[in-house]
């Protein structure tokens, strides 16, 4: 929503690029990416032996590279790629490679406003993070779970601070891993650390930690919750930064804990993927009330609608009054909103998107080889070869559809009444 105010919301269809022609121009064309505003489509292309480039709206970047992978548009529309030249790797942004290069770079992530770009790096068998072409001062034996703060100014990752030989099972149990916000490791180690989460104000960092082979809990800025559990899943912060919520396993069942204390009085066969409503007054999570039955629980109360296979991609409406998710039942996908499933089923469904006024829900869905958009259960009668998630206009009356049809990429803005 940050940038969509500035996008072109004039109703109509515009051909952006004849992507079908690219295959004739280049030795090969990889699967394309589209900018959030739909104005650009980009794909990695091979232009010769050992020479790769990125084609954006039909034009290639000024620089070739020996290898390119992982092209991604950031929220502000900048296009990144991981590029290699003479065996060294770095990040290229809109075609310009960063000055520093490394033995390897992977896992590009963006701050929510898109201004800061981070990635994990390996250099001389040590591991760290590079942010906007500047590396963390300290490097570690291993790194994973990279994350960036909501304000984009901080990064954190799980790091290995103690070396141990393969097979040294007792050294491992002493704890060799911790979290490192901004490259500075917490002052205590754990057997394992996963699931890092920054607070909304970017000041605090929470993680799920394993303190022995058998004890799990949550750490906030390195301080542990008082109780340990037989297992926990990834924590999240409340919007007011005061609470941390995480699923915890107690007596072979799962429930939700806030700041270390059980906050839901109900237990489930499984519980994960919890999210707060934007105002923090509600908590929703994916739950299995019974073995093999999946649904959403809001504030501990499970919906009646259940899915046999899975539920994923849960999202709150901006006003916090509705919850939507994608679910799969007996092999067929659909969207469920406030305990009501859409009547149609699909081969695949993507995360539903609420309009800013919370009145409408849209989702990308797939059937066989084609994709379309569905709004409030009603399909758009176009079947596209490729499609990206729909975006509502700031006033919620229109929807941006980014799609490839008949080998051509179109940017469409449609009134939602036209679907």
Partner 1 sequence: MAQSVKKPEKKFVDIGLDEGAARLTTDMIQQVISRVLKGETSAYLKAYVDTCVSCGLCSEACHYYLSHDKDPYYAPVVKVKQTIWEILKKKGKVSPEFIKKASEIAQTECDLCRRCAMYCPFGIDVADIILIVRWICYMLGVTPQYIQDIANSYSVTMNQMWIKEDEWINSLQQQEDEAQNEIATLRIPIEKEGADIMYSVISPRPEFRAQFIYKTAVIMDTAGVNWTMPATPGPDNSDMTMYTGDNEIMGRVKKTHFETAMRLKVKKILMSECDSIYDVGNKWLGWKWYPIEIVNSIEFYYELLRDGKISIAKKFEEPVTLHDPCNVDKGSALYKMARYLINATCKEFVEMHPNREHSYCCCAGAGVINCGPHWKMKQMHGSKIKARQLAATHVETVIAPCHSCYGGLEDVIRHYKLGMNVRFLSDILYECIEKPRVVIDV
CA 152-157-163 angle, to 5 degrees, is 155
Q: Please state, in angstroms and rounded to a whole number, the distance separating the CA atoms of residues 275 and 234.
A: 11
Q: Confirm or reject binding of residue 106 to partner 1 (CB under 8 A).
A: yes
What residues have CB less than 8 Å from 104, skipping those under 6 apart?
Answer: 89, 121, 122
* 53, 120, 178, 334: which one binds partner 1 (CB under 8 A): 120
CB 44 within 8 A of CB 60: no
Rg value, the chain, Cα: 23
Residue (116 or 123) nearer to partner 1, CB? 123
Q: Confirm or reject binding of residue 187 to partner 1 (CB under 8 A).
A: no
Q: Please state, in angstroms and rounded to a whole number, the distance separating the CA atoms of residues 164 and 148.
A: 28
Pick out residues in 34-73 that bind partner 1 (CB under 8 A): 49, 67, 69-70
Among 22, 27, 78, smallest CA distance to 55 is for: 22
Pick out residues in 224-263 that bind partner 1 (CB under 8 A): 230-231, 249, 252
* 126, 192, 263, 376: which one binds partner 1 (CB under 8 A): 192
Q: Please state, in angstroms and rounded to a whole number, the distance separating the CA atoms of residues 340 and 327.
A: 11
Q: Confirm or reject binding of residue 88 to partner 1 (CB under 8 A).
A: no
Determine the interface stretch with partner 1 among 6-14, 92-100, 137-145, 199-207 (rule: CB under 8 A).
Answer: 137-145
Residue (401 or 413) nearer to partner 1, CB? 401
Structure tokens at 406: 């008949």
Q: How far is the CB of 330 from partner 1 (least distance, A)?
A: 11
3-state SS track over 345-361 = CECEECCCEECCCCCCE
Structure tokens at 283: 């908590």
Determine the interface stretch with partner 1 among 4-12, 57-65, 217-225, 268-276 (rule: CB under 8 A).
Answer: 268-276
CB 173 within 8 A of CB 164: no
Residues forming the site for partner 1 (CB under 8 A): 27-28, 30-31, 49, 67, 69-70, 104, 106-107, 120, 122, 127, 142-144, 160, 166-170, 172, 177, 191-192, 194, 210, 213-214, 216, 230-231, 249, 252, 269-270, 272, 288, 291-292, 294, 308-310, 312, 328, 331, 347-348, 350, 366
């Amino acid at each position: 929503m940050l940038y969509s105010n500035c996008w072109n919301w004039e109703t109509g269809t515009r051909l952006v690029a004849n992507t079908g022609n690219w295959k004739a121009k280049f030795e090969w064309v990889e699967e394309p990416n589209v900018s959030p505003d739909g104005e650009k489509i980009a794909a990695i292309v091979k232009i010769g032996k050992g020479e790769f480039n990125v084609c954006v709206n039909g034009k290639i970047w000024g620089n070739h590279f020996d290898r390119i992978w992982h092209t991604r548009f950031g929220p502000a529309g900048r296009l990144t790629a991981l590029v290699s030249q003479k065996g060294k790797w770095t990040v290229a942004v809109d075609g310009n490679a960063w000055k520093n290069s490394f033995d390897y770079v992977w896992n590009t992530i963006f701050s929510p406003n898109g201004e800061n770009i981070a990635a994990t790096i390996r250099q001389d068998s040590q591991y760290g993070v590079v942010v906007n072409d500047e590396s963390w001062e300290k490097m570690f034996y291993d790194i994973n779970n990279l994350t960036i703060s909501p304000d984009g100014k901080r990064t954190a990752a799980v790091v290995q601070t103690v070396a141990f030989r393969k097979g040294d099972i007792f050294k491992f149990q002493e704890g060799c891993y911790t979290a490192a916000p901004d490259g500075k490791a917490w002052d205590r180690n754990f057997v394992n650390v996963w699931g890092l989460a920054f607070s909304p104000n970017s000041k605090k960092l929470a993680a799920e930690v394993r303190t022995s082979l058998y004890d799990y809990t949550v750490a906030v800025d390195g301080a542990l919750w008082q109780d340990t559990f037989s297992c926990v899943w990834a924590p999240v912060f409340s919007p007011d930064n005061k609470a941390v919520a995480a699923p915890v396993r107690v007596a072979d069942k799962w429930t939700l804990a806030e700041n270390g204390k059980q906050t839901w009085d109900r237990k489930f066969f499984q519980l994960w993927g919890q999210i707060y409503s934007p105002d923090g007054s509600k908590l929703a999570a994916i739950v299995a009330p019974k073995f093999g039955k999946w649904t959403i629980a809001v504030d501990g109360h499970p919906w009646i609608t259940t899915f046999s296979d899975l539920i994923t991609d849960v999202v709150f409406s901006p006003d916090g009054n509705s919850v939507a998710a994608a679910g799969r039942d007996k092999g067929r996908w659909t969207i469920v909103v406030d305990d009501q499933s859409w009547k149609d089923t699909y081969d695949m469904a993507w995360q539903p998107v609420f309009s800013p006024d919370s009145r409408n829900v849209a989702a990308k869905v797939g059937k066989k080889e084609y994709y379309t958009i569905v709004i409030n259960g009603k399909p758009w009668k176009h079947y596209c070869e490729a499609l990206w998630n729909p975006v509502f206009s700031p006033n919620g009356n229109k929807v941006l559809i980014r799609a490839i049809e008949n080998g051509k990429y179109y940017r469409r803005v449609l009134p939602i009444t036209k679907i």
